[in-house]
């Protein structure tokens, strides 16, 4: 496995691999790897001849009061994990290498980037799409892998790739969880032992919504009220940014279950103490 820090070197290597006819897979990450990332790497290994991961904590997707500086980093551990999984290359640039001192361009998927998490993190998705497009231009892969844990991000990236006629297939992988249901996230490191145990409230509430819907409840405003009540009653939940039902493809808000929907996304962002956690599930709707 090779760690590449320079954009030009990375492009050269990718060109050589593509000339040889290799199929290249890219797994973009911010590092501090866990089973969610590893599962995407394994998917890429199954589909592709050469697997790149990128490790880059992207300042452009953090707001001024967010955790860019404190975001957990451990390149040594990450390299060891990646090597064990058979990753061929880690693209590991510095912020200076990626943005220089005169970076002016922003790529933005309108509307989709302003709802849900975008309402609370106004520059976040523009930062994500900008860096992901840069990564796609640097690692000219045929396939790129994203987790459903960040469902809105995955939809936005698919939309960018489609709108900009990009020659890359966006593949999504399932959300990986701890045995108690808590979705794996590098940010779980911020949680105290007690907070970590109680952070399962998020997944429990998503499942509460699922069960209500499976039991025939059609009024999603009512489901939302009950779930929000449960979240707000929990003393570990400092605040709730949102809990919403959305179309799994367009992310349009859904207020009522009707025959148009085969599946519905339930998604939430909550603060457990000083840590913002997001999670979602897809609820399959029975035939009406
Ligand atoms: P991050 O390093 O958090 O930016 O995540 C890099 C990629 O891993 C993104 O595509 C995420 O959606 C994905 N990912 C993060 N956590 C999980 C998880 N628990 N399960 C599946 N994929 C995940």
Q: What is the pLDDT of residues 50-103, one digit of tens each?
A: 999 999 999 999 999 999 999 999 999 999 999 999 999 999 999 999 999 999
Q: What is the CATH number of domain 2-173?
A: 3.40.50.620
Question: What is the spatial order of strands in the sheet that 237-247 belongs to?
Answer: 237-247, 263-272, 275-284
The closest alpha carbon to 280, from 220, 205, 213, 226, belongs to: 205
By alpha-carbon position, which residue is closest to atom 17 of ligand 1? 36
Whether 2-173 shares its CATH topology with 186-284 is answered no
141: DSSP letter:
-
30 Cα nearest atom in ligand 1: 2
- Spatial separation of the C-alpha atoms in residues 212 and 218, rounded to whole Å: 9
Contact 141, 113 (CB under 8 A): no
Q: Is 54 in the pocket of ligand 1 (CB under 6 A)?
A: no
By alpha-carbon position, which residue is closest to atom 11 of ligand 1? 147
Is 103 catalytic? The answer is: no
pLDDT higher than 90, residue 139: yes
Q: Is 93 in the pocket of ligand 1 (CB under 6 A)?
A: no
Quick one: pLDDT band at residue 110, thresholds 50, 70, 90? Answer: very high
Catalytic entry in 34, 37, 103, 124: 37
Q: Is 175 in the pocket of ligand 1 (CB under 6 A)?
A: yes
pTM of the model: 0.98
Q: Is 184 in the pocket of ligand 1 (CB under 6 A)?
A: yes
Q: Is 127 in the pocket of ligand 1 (CB under 6 A)?
A: no
- Spatial separation of the C-alpha atoms in residues 209 and 266, rounded to whole Å: 8
CA of 146 to the centre of ligand 1 (A): 7
What residue spans define the domains of the chain? Answer: 2-173, 186-284
By alpha-carbon position, which residue is closest to atom 15 of ligand 1? 36
- Give me the CATH topology for the region 186-284: 3.30.1300
């Amino acid at each position: 496995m090779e760690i590449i820090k320079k954009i030009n070197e990375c492009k050269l290597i990718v060109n050589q691999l593509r000339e040889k006819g290799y199929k290249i897979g890219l797994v973009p990450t911010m590092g501090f790897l866990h089973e969610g990332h590893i599962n995407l790497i394994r998917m890429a290994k199954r589909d592709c001849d050469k697997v790149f991961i990128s490790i880059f904590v992207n300042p452009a997707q953090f707001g001024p009061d967010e955790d860019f500086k404190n975001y957990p980093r451990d390149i040594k551990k990450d390299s060891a994990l990646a090597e064990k999984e058979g990753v061929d290359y880690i693209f590991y640039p510095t912020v200076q290498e990626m943005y220089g001192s005169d970076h002016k361009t922003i790529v933005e998927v309108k509307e989709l980037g302003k709802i849900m998490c975008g309402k609370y993190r106004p520059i976040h998705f523009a930062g994500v799409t900008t860096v992901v497009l840069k990564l796609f231009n640097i690692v000219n892969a045929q396939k790129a892998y994203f987790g459903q844990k960040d469902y809105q991000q995955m939809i936005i990236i698919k939309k960018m790739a489609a709108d900009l006629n990009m020659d890359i297939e966006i593949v999504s992988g399932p959300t990986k969880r701890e045995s108690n249901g808590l979705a794996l996230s590098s940010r779980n490191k911020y949680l105290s032992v007690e907070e970590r145990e109680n952070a399962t409230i998020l997944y429990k509430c998503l499942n509460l919504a699922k069960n209500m819907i499976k039991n025939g409840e059609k009024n999603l405003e009512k489901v939302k009220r009950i779930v929000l009540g449960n979240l707000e009653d929990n003393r570990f939940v400092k605040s709730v940014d949102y809990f919403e039902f959305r179309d799994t493809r367009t992310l349009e808000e859904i207020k009522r279950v009707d025959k148009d929907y085969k599946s519905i996304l339930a998604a939430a962002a909550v603060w457990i103490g000083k840590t913002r956690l997001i999670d979602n599930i897809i609820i399959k709707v029975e035939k009406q």
